[in-house]
Structure 1
Amino acid sequence: MKNKVKKVRKIEPVRQRVILELQPKKRVCAYARVSTDSIDQQGSFHAQVEYYKGFIGKRDDWEYVGIYSDEAKSGTQIKRRDEFTQMIKDCEAGKIDMIITKSVTRFARNTVDSIEVIRKLKLLGIGVYFEKENINTLSEKSEMLLTILSSLAQGESESISTNIKWAFRDQFAKGTFKISTPAYGYINDEYGELIIKVDEAKVVRRIFKEYLNGKGSYLIAKGLNHDNIPTIRSANEWTDTAVKDILQNPIYEGNLLLQKTYTTEVLPFQRKRNQGEKARYFIEDNHEPIITKEEAKLVGEIFEYRRNQIGIDDSGKNLNKYEFSSNIICSECGGTFRRQKIYIGKSYETVQWSCIQHIRDVSKCSMKAIKEDVIREAFITMWNKLISNYKEILVPLLESLRNLRIDEVQEDEIKDLNNRIMELTEQGLVLSRVVSKGYIDPAIFIERQNALNIEITATKKKRNQMLDNNGFEKEIEGTLMILDIIENNPEIIEDYNENLFIHIVDKIIIGKNKEITFRLINTLELTEYVGK
């Protein structure tokens, strides 16, 4: 049988045809970006705006719908470019048919983001025209070339970042680095050297004096806010964290610690606290101090004393002297609860726990305080129910978790890694005590602390990878621990047992009607209703 000549008729895309019928002119916008703060570049920015107005206006088949522009911002992260984000939203809303921009490097320097956005726009039938490369993303052969060009742009951005970081490290090592944004209490002189800012220095001295006189960071911050003391840069209010940062910053005793943070090597660039991944540089007697070395030493000793009194684990989590501290969570705003005493000195003096956000601003969180006795009574009820029904609850749960486990062989190694983390953490605490008493040089302390942090991070990473592969380690280990406690304490309890609470409860979640949910160490959640 002879091959019949097939009659083929191309069916044009309906969406594009309808758009052309309803909107005969393409609605075209331009995207412009200037990535530096220099005056010359700002002039270039304005020139781009004028250029694209004329360029789009010349075409009879184009309708000018505006120019989106991000000025003086890095192009390496799309999420930080407000105008770019708005332009994409307008595309999705059907307000734009085409985007014109100078080049791939002006559109995005992150390959993944660039290709992702272009593909999203293509699905909407919206093209991006890059003038320099003469590419329209709606053309069939554009994507391969775009991938290559975007990768080159990303490599260029990473190379520039590497060069800048190398220059900074060289300045750190030589002690010639000039801080562009000095810490609170200091400003730069005409040569870029740190000099005291008198009004802010008074506040710094006040913070150190009040701390040495026994006030905690929270009360110090509260007092600063009460006295309407201007905050650090653009902060809305003083916080205990800001106060602690000032109290622990060696800059106020005339020393300088450089590279406390660092930027990751590849896109997307991220700013991280330096926990020993990079070298740090300590410069002693670099500038005029605001406080004496004796005051700084005393503050360090008080910090260490309070740390030992309260207790800090290897992650820096506050273990606290009150079993409920940092352990009660608000279900409305997610904030933690703070301990309060009311009717102080009265025969009916009471301890209650209140959401921090509610204390600061009732309009942002309406969660009411809950009495400590109520929480303890709820715990007694929850525990008695659990030990009365543990065979129906915990035993089947443990069996199910074990059946879901991937690899039991790794258990011993995980325990060894946990022990090593604890040993390294203890070494870090001992090292902190030694340096606070002046027994070793601060620079040697930083070097040794770096080494400890690196090993702790590596050990945690290995442990976490094994936990991810092992599966349900926390749940199984926690369930076994609870079962062991029940077997050794099988009796119903009548009085609250603080030690028991600490060992089996991870968090408490307070609900709107005072539902109290206890999240146990095996992640099981049990709720008691006390609202009525």
Structure 2
Amino acid sequence: MAKKVTVIKAVSGAGRKKAARKLKVCGYARVSTGSKAQAGSYATQVAYYTEKIEANPLWEFAGVYADEGITGTKTKGRNEFKAMIAACEDGEVELILTKSITRFARNTVECIQTIRKLKAMGVGIYFEKENINTLHEASELMLTILASVAQGESEDFSGNNRWSIVNRFENGAFKVGTPAYGYRKDEEGNLLIEETEVETVRWIFESYLNGMGTYRIAKKLNEQGVPTIRYSEKWQDSVIKEILNNPIYEGDSLHQRTYTERNFPFERKVNNGQLPMYLQKDAHPAIITHEEAEAVRSIMEYRNKILHIDGDKYQNRYLFSSRIICGECGSTFRRQKIYIGKPHEKIIWTCHNHVENIENCKMKAIREDAIHQAFVTMWNKLCTNQGIVLEPMLKALMEQAENRSDTKEMEQLNTEIHSLSEQSQILNQVMKKGYMDSALFMEKSNLLAQQLTECRRKKTMLNRRQKRTKEIVRTEQLLTLLKEEGYQREFKEELFDLTVKEIRISKSHAITFCLKNGLKLTEKEGGEKDAVAHTHRI
């Protein structure tokens, strides 16, 4: 008996294309200087990627990210680059178009790390010049080689500059670019005393020698309205410390006090003996004597070693730095130690405004261990009540995303943008073949350009509204973390860092943890409150 076989017909290519979801594609452009000569290149790259993406019927335009006047040797400071990576993490971008590896990064390590990070999320990068798509299997070896070549070019250039500078250090021919506070340069680059600033410098040294600390000196200068160094907002104790430590004020030039690393990412660091320094005695007019400078150094060393103040610890960034917000004035809190050297030594966090002027803010300091305990209490309550708080919240967010009417509006805008782009291309072809009068072409072209601009503006506004989908991702991550970590008996820095965006302290010392998924949970200092009662949506 013959077996019965049913043939299932293949779906045509055209049918598959219609069913396929469009790929979210963005462009990334960068020019390495902010000069007028590069401005044209910057604008051209932005326009090029906008037109290229919108012209492809299989792609959905996800924007163009462009950094102008930024170096490619490291991602620090490249705000558009960071925004693009964040968009990839939130599922808003699935493919990045960029001109070449040198436009994307000149740092092999960061380049490969970024590529691998994006690849793990299913996001590809297409380098046009090299014709490489990072989602293809053979791409990584070639990218490593090409990125290394690009990095080598930057290292050679940096090495040549370094040799030139060191040569001038050794010959005493180095000219300071920006003179220190209290000095100015003549036409030949020599340092001269700046009469409008010299009295302030002398007062700083005299005050310190008379027992006044760097914080109080900065506060006095701010109260007196003394113009700041390089027109900053206000004087800081770190700036005062830098002035007191600088041998330039006793007439000496000490070069290579800081240095740039030889390898990527070319970070600037303080020279603590890693490289030679070059001291040129009596190189320019002095503001203070050598004896006064030596006395300042002796006092500073004593205060640092014996009294544990004026040291370098203030330069470190702590876990809560810039994360604790005053509920009364909106300022951030700063870290302080009390009862130093005693058995009951404590760390407290105090409002900046309150420290500077008690009349500006009445907020009292809060102990760090109280914040630790409040976080542990909040975490454990959330862990116990995740089925009551987080899971219903996640369900509601997902339903809201599915039922959102602006999804249809976004589809309509994408269709309209695509249609207008096609009309613009047809119009250009008609004009090139001589079938249309130039005046009529300009009129039609300007009208299409205005319509395209308006559609893109609406799409940008819509994208901003749809950013709420980030809450879904963050809530899912928080649920996973709660299940993995479970109940906590003591404070863990990594858990705090992963879950909390900022802390707000009320006048009554209610501690509100603003979580990264948009949730707010409040604990009283040393108190026990139900987590559900203090759950609020942002």
Q: TM-score, normalised by structure 1?
A: 0.55
| Distance across 1 between alignment mates of 2:73 and 2:155 | 9
1:242 aligns with 2:239: yes
| Distance across 2 between alignment mates of 1:142 and 1:274 | 40
**Change over 3 Å in CA distance of 1:188–1:124 after alignment to 2:** same
Amino acid in the other structure paired with 2:241: K
Q: Which residue of 2 aligns with 1:145?
A: 142
| Distance across 1 between alignment mates of 2:216 and 2:278 | 33
Amino acid in the other structure paired with 1:141: A
Query: Which residues of structure 2 form unaligned runs of 5+?
Result: 1-7, 312-318, 325-332, 341-345, 368-507, 510-525, 528-538
Q: Which residue of 1 aligns with 2:195?
A: 198
Q: Which residue of 2 aligns with 1:473?
A: none
Q: Which residue of 2 aligns with 1:367?
A: 365
| Distance across 1 between alignment mates of 2:211 and 2:119 | 64
8 Å contact 1:31–1:100 — kept in the other structure?
Answer: yes
Q: Deviations over 1:191-239 (max 9, x none)?
A: 4333333333332132233334453333222210111223333654323
| Distance across 2 between alignment mates of 1:110 and 1:189 | 39
SS of the residue aligned with 1:80?
coil
SS of the residue aligned with 1:183?
coil
Q: Which residue of 1 aligns with 2:230?
A: 233
Amino acid in the other structure paired with 2:298: E
Q: Which residue of 2 aligns with 1:23?
A: 21
8 Å contact 2:28–2:98 — kept in the other structure?
Answer: yes
| Distance across 2 between alignment mates of 1:353 and 1:122 | 43
Q: Which residue of 2 aligns with 1:346?
A: none
8 Å contact 2:250–2:293 — kept in the other structure?
Answer: no
SS of the residue aligned with 1:176?
coil
Q: Which residue of 1 aligns with 2:156?
A: 159
**Change over 3 Å in CA distance of 1:259–1:69 after alignment to 2:** same
Correspondence for 1:94 among 91, 94, 118 = 91
| Distance across 2 between alignment mates of 1:367 and 1:87 | 39
Of 161-170 and 49-58, the range deviating more from structure 2: 49-58
8 Å contact 2:26–2:65 — kept in the other structure?
Answer: yes
Q: Which residue of 2 aligns with 1:80?
A: 77
Q: Which residue of 1 aligns with 2:476?
A: none
Q: Which residue of 2 aligns with 1:298?
A: 292
Shift of 1:338: 5.5
Correspondence for 1:120 among 117, 122, 126 = 117
Shift of 1:368: 6.1
Shift of 1:119: 2.3
SS of the residue aligned with 1:84?
helix
Of 260-269 and 280-289, the range deviating more from structure 2: 280-289
Q: Which residue of 2 aligns with 1:372?
A: none
**Change over 3 Å in CA distance of 1:216–1:119 after alignment to 2:** closer
**Change over 3 Å in CA distance of 1:139–1:241 after alignment to 2:** closer
1:312 aligns with 2:305: yes
Q: Which residue of 1 aligns with 2:272?
A: 275
8 Å contact 1:337–1:356 — kept in the other structure?
Answer: no
8 Å contact 1:184–1:200 — kept in the other structure?
Answer: yes
| Distance across 2 between alignment mates of 1:140 and 1:58 | 28
Q: Which residue of 1 aligns with 2:249?
A: 252
1:130 aligns with 2:124: no
Q: Which residue of 2 aligns with 1:35?
A: 32
**Change over 3 Å in CA distance of 1:37–1:188 after alignment to 2:** farther
8 Å contact 2:334–2:350 — kept in the other structure?
Answer: no
Q: Which residue of 1 aligns with 2:380?
A: none
| Distance across 2 between alignment mates of 1:276 and 1:364 | 45
Q: How many residue pairs align between the two structures?
A: 336
Shift of 1:81: 1.4
Of 358-367 and 76-85, the range deviating more from structure 2: 358-367
SS of the residue aligned with 1:241?
helix
Query: Which residues of structure 1 form unaligned runs of 5+?
Result: 1-8, 321-328, 341-351, 370-511, 514-529
Cα root mean square deviation, aligned: 4.1
**Change over 3 Å in CA distance of 1:37–1:251 after alignment to 2:** farther
Amino acid in the other structure paired with 1:367: A
| Distance across 1 between alignment mates of 2:137 and 2:106 | 22
1:508-527 matched pairs, under 5 angstroms: none
Amino acid in the other structure paired with 1:126: V
The sequence identity of aligned pairs, in percent, is: 44
Q: TM-score, normalised by structure 2?
A: 0.54
Correspondence for 1:222 among 216, 219, 222 = 219
| Distance across 1 between alignment mates of 2:362 and 2:88 | 35
Q: Deviations over 1:338-363 (max 9, x none)?
A: 679xxxxxxxxxxx998665523776
1:337 aligns with 2:337: yes
Q: Which residue of 2 aligns with 1:344?
A: none
